Amino acid sequence: MRDVNGRAVRVDPTREFHNGDRIRISLEPSVDGYVYVFHTENDGPPEMIYPDPRLEGGENWIEAHVPIDIPSTLETDERLRWFQFYGNAGTERLYVVVTRDPLPEVPIGESLVNFCAASKDKCPWHPPVEAWAQVQLASKAEVRVVTSNATSGQMQTEKEQVATTRGLGLDQTAPQPSVIRMSAATNAPVLVTILDLVHK
């Protein structure tokens, strides 16, 4: 979460968020692949908020064991470096989807940029029923989870900032992750993490 001085501070996702609060997701995948973030509000229709055609040309490729911030801290426009809470109170649900291969029928990269340029009223992109059903099915797969509250409230370290902006792996001195999620099946093609964020 962005603090009053503009620094990134780890927060427990179960906290309450308010209009004006800004957050980003920091993750480190264990496989090369692709990352997507879908959003629903109060169980409404889903929309894809990452990849975004305004960010890195709509690209969403990720590299194994290299941490990434979503959205990126490298964006020149400060408003594009964070997701921001605004509007009515409710439960904001984020589906963070990591895949080994691109999701079928979901535009990314140049396809997403071209789609949004041609139909601005349809962006953020909304997945069709079939594509969304695949994400929801994957969200029910068996997952092993390890959590730690030891780093909540801690600022993102300089090593972590450098790693996310330069595409470097972290060494053993980096703070431990808040949550580790692993598919129970080692060859699972998709891992879905659902974050319910309370917006008051």
Place of tokens 């001085």: 5
Q: What single-letter DSSP state applies at residue 103?
A: P
**Are the CB atoms for 67 and 177 separated by under 8 Å?**
no
Rg (CA), the chain: 16
Q: What single-letter DSSP state applies at residue 157?
A: P
The whole-model pTM stands at 0.89
**Are the CB atoms for 153 and 10 separated by under 8 Å?**
yes
Q: What single-letter DSSP state applies at residue 121?
A: G
Place of tokens 């426009």: 77
Which is it for the CA torsion 151, 82, 69, 161, positive or negative? negative
Domain-by-domain residue ranges, the chain? 16-199
> Which pLDDT value is given to residue 150?
64
Each residue's pLDDT expressed in tens, for the chain with a length of 200 residues = 999 988 899 888 888 999 999 999 999 999 999 999 999 988 789 999 999 999 999 999 999 999 999 998 888 888 899 999 999 899 999 999 999 999 999 999 999 999 999 987 889 999 999 989 999 999 999 999 888 776 677 777 676 776 676 666 777 677 777 788 889 888 899 999 999 999 99
- CA count, 13 A, side-chain hemisphere, 195: 22
**Are the CB atoms for 74 and 133 separated by under 8 Å?**
no
> Which pLDDT value is given to residue 77?
85
Which is it for the CA torsion 114, 119, 122, 126, positive or negative? negative
Pairing of strands 16-17, 190-199: parallel
